[in-house]
């Protein structure tokens, strides 16, 4: 199954074109997304939309927008003028969801450094797995019951 979901930033306004034979709408844009680790550089990917989705992308997507894009990956192979074949990965979109910065959704892949795993959001209780200050584990105590 080829299913792909990506959160990315639009780096070029969508371009709407029509196929020459059936005049079906097709939109292409480029998006940028962060790597999985902090030291990874960001990557660029071409996104294609067809039909009604193409018109929606042209109308509702703009450079700088953050989106969640659903679709499938496709490989496009073409001959370079230097005489060798090149392959490029494209995302054929099936849907997209704008992420509004004012909605409170954080779009950064960096971890929240203020997170306390033992505290609830309203400070009303602590995680039951937390050891209290009077707890000690000696070499004779086996914390695993089996």
* Domains observed in the chain: 4-101 (2.40.50.140)
What long-range pairs does 25-31 form, CB within 8 A, spacing at least 24? 25/50, 25/51, 25/52, 25/54, 25/55, 26/50, 26/54, 27/53, 27/54, 27/55, 27/57, 27/58, 29/57, 29/61, 31/6, 31/67, 31/69, 31/91
pLDDT score for 78: 87
pLDDT score for 101: 58
pLDDT score for 145: 61
Say what the pTM is. Answer: 0.64
pLDDT score for 29: 97
Query: Do 90 and 44 form a contact (C-beta atoms < 8 A)?
Result: no
Residues of the chain with pLDDT under 50: 102-120, 124-133, 135
pLDDT score for 143: 63
């Amino acid at each position: 199954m080829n299913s792909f979901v990506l959160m990315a930033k639009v780096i070029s306004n969508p371009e709407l074109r029509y196929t020459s034979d059936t005049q079906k709408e097709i939109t292409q844009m480029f998006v940028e997304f962060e790597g999985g680790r902090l030291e990874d550089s960001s990557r660029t990917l071409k996104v294609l939309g067809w039909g009604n989705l193409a018109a929606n992308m042209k109308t509702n997507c703009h450079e700088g927008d953050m989106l969640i894009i659903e679709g499938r990956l496709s490989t496009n192979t073409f001959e370079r003028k230097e005489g060798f074949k090149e392959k490029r990965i494209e995302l054929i979109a099936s849907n997209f969801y704008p992420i509004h910065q004012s909605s409170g959704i954080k779009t950064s892949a960096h971890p929240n450094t203020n997170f306390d795993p033992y505290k609830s959001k309203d400070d009303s209780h602590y995680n039951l797995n937390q050891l209290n200050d009077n707890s000690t584990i000696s070499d004779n105590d086996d914390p695993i019951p089996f």
